[in-house]
Structure 1
């Protein structure tokens, strides 16, 4: 059933894109001219040419359907004039679009940390509505993250350098001529950190990986109306630490959270339909971002010393939540990696930088009974 719904959603998206595609006004005008000539010649007609020194000077339509030769010829001239105007406009639009495509850039940031998506690169899934030359920024760190121990610190350095590549492109082009498209399948803390470092890079289109159909997709311009149910804010102590758990694509493991952070107050943002491959609405995504932002704002008002963030969410949520995090106006934050069925369910985290010029920090997390520092 889920596969059928995803398939129908893909068909619906293509239909909407077709119906809302950019029309060529010039070709439409030319079609009107063709229609006029077709109407004039609906009956049997003849076409007479008058030549002078072998060159066609004029021609005349003769319509046996009722219109006089003069009116038939006049309508034919009018139709040809409209066709000429339409073709001229179509050519002008094509030339302008070509110049725009040559001037603009679409930078595609793809993150590979868990799944090999080389058969379906994000670069090839960029919507045709985004005009401009494609530039790929691929970060494939699967080998580094699969090593034991994972080389998270090196990956953080690579993510931290991504804005330099983007700025080098912006230096060659006007800021408004560069569109960034981002997406990836990577460990949650790294996706969140990617959102943090990309926040200053202007307008960003975040695309999602469809796990059922194994393809990239754009969030639909709609809103399901579903929102987080937020609980636990009343238990937060001013100046203390807090765990913020976000259950979006599945419900975060509360026993694992209690095991890793015993006695730490929990604020839970739970989606009413916390299931995989469900959050495909841009309006809903934006509303959830706002709820997350407001929650961090309330915690800042309580002057909490550290937010331990547990994200059970798809990549688009992780990246966009990272983009909304402001280290200047929000509490210090660490985003944790969950390891299912491990003795230590949250073995490491990424501590977000307190200033833009600082990289993220790899932090190993130990269970309280094994933490030698206590």
Structure 2
């Protein structure tokens, strides 16, 4: 019984105060003005009665005033009924649309354990329609933040595209939205964006380490641009090192990529929280794409890509990389505690019939 009363009170509060729609504005106008009309009516009657006496006081306004009161009451009750019917019709139509809609949440778990705060649960709070989750979890292949079997992890990332296609096959493209987020090794995050670049609008979230929860790219674009340090040496294979959150390890790059030309793209201020603007990420990914096109024009056939950036930035750069026209690319994993700080890479070839592989 108490639950039923609480439910009724909650729904009544939603209708009277919380929800926003034109229909409810009409409904609330009728509800708010009705008591004022009743309280300010021209008809007043007071009666007191006990065993010995009766006292009665009455005042009746003119027929014109009564006509105004009755007219106001009719209008206000009409507004309430009309607003309620309109809101019900709107709710029913919205429910029909929401029954068709679906949001598919792709979450990659690797370097940080986000299982206590699944991205799908965060998204469900924001949605009134169906939410499905695809979790790509490679944590058992990571020891002390070092991935031990990148080949096994790659196989799981490859399955993401198939899983997504299975969940979208029976729905119209207009009814599907996709959300991505995760904390995963840079090569796999870049490759995931590379795989999903042909999908419709993807809403990207990132893990906010300061608060330990998910956050959308809701910040303001600060206008930062990449500063460019090109190499004067030409070659058909080059290193492109990009610094966003941290500076790339130039000493390690020089020791691992001996003899290769190295090109640097760096933001003026390197910070782990400089990426919360979608507009900024779109712009920087455009600058990254244009520089890769410039390298292509210089005869470059393969890019060794070193990224020091946040998860969402790596994903966005992967989305931006043109798999049909740009050079093939190898994306490197950085391990600061190892003697060889770039121990492996994910090579993404462009040749027909070849598949991505760990090198």
Are the equivalent residues in 2 in contact too, given 1:107–1:181 (CA < 8 A)?
Answer: yes
Structure 1 equivalent of residue 69 of structure 2? 72
Shift of 1:172: 1.2
Unmatched 5+ residue regions in structure 2? 1-17, 46-58
Structure 2 equivalent of residue 347 of structure 1? 343
Are the equivalent residues in 2 in contact too, given 1:332–1:352 (CA < 8 A)?
Answer: yes
Correspondence for 2:78 among 77, 81, 86: 81
Q: 1:107 to 1:353 in 2, by over 3 A?
A: farther
Structure 2 equivalent of residue 223 of structure 1? 221
Shift of 1:342: 2.1
Tell me how far apart the structure 2 counterparts of residues 357 and 34 of structure 1 sit (CA, whole Å). 69
Q: 1:115 to 1:66 in 2, by over 3 A?
A: farther
2:24 counterpart of 1:30: no
Which segment drifts farther, 180-189 or 83-92?
83-92
Correspondence for 2:136 among 139, 144, 157: 139
- TM-score normalised to the size of structure 2? 0.84
Shift of 1:125: 1.5
SS in 2 for 1:295: helix
Tell me how far apart the structure 2 counterparts of residues 73 and 155 of structure 1 sit (CA, whole Å). 74
Correspondence for 2:185 among 187, 200, 210: 187
Correspondence for 1:294 among 290, 294, 311: 290
Tell me how far apart the structure 1 counterparts of residues 62 and 334 of structure 2 sit (CA, whole Å). 80
Structure 2 equivalent of residue 253 of structure 1? 249
Shift of 1:156: 1.4
Structure 2 equivalent of residue 98 of structure 1? 95
SS in 1 for 2:179: strand
SS in 1 for 2:169: helix
SS in 1 for 2:304: strand
Which segment drifts farther, 87-96 or 110-119?
87-96
2:311 counterpart of 1:315: yes
2:122 counterpart of 1:125: yes
Q: 1:312 to 1:47 in 2, by over 3 A?
A: farther
Unmatched 5+ residue regions in structure 1? 1-20, 49-61, 364-374
- TM-score normalised to the size of structure 1? 0.81
Q: 1:191 to 1:273 in 2, by over 3 A?
A: same
Tell me how far apart the structure 2 counterparts of residues 298 and 152 of structure 1 sit (CA, whole Å). 31
Tell me how far apart the structure 2 counterparts of residues 356 and 190 of structure 1 sit (CA, whole Å). 21
Shift of 1:222: 3.0
Are the equivalent residues in 2 in contact too, given 1:328–1:355 (CA < 8 A)?
Answer: no
Shift of 1:146: 3.4
Are the equivalent residues in 2 in contact too, given 1:339–1:345 (CA < 8 A)?
Answer: yes
Cα-to-partner distance string for 1:241-271 (whole Å, 9 max, x where unaligned): 2111111111111111111112322221111
SS in 2 for 1:201: coil
Q: 1:221 to 1:210 in 2, by over 3 A?
A: closer
Are the equivalent residues in 1 in contact too, given 2:194–2:323 (CA < 8 A)?
Answer: no
RMSD (Å), alpha carbons: 2.6
SS in 2 for 1:285: helix
2:111 counterpart of 1:114: yes
Which segment drifts farther, 143-152 or 159-168?
143-152
Cα-to-partner distance string for 1:112-146 (whole Å, 9 max, x where unaligned): 11111111111111175545201010111111243
Residues paired across the two proteins, number: 328
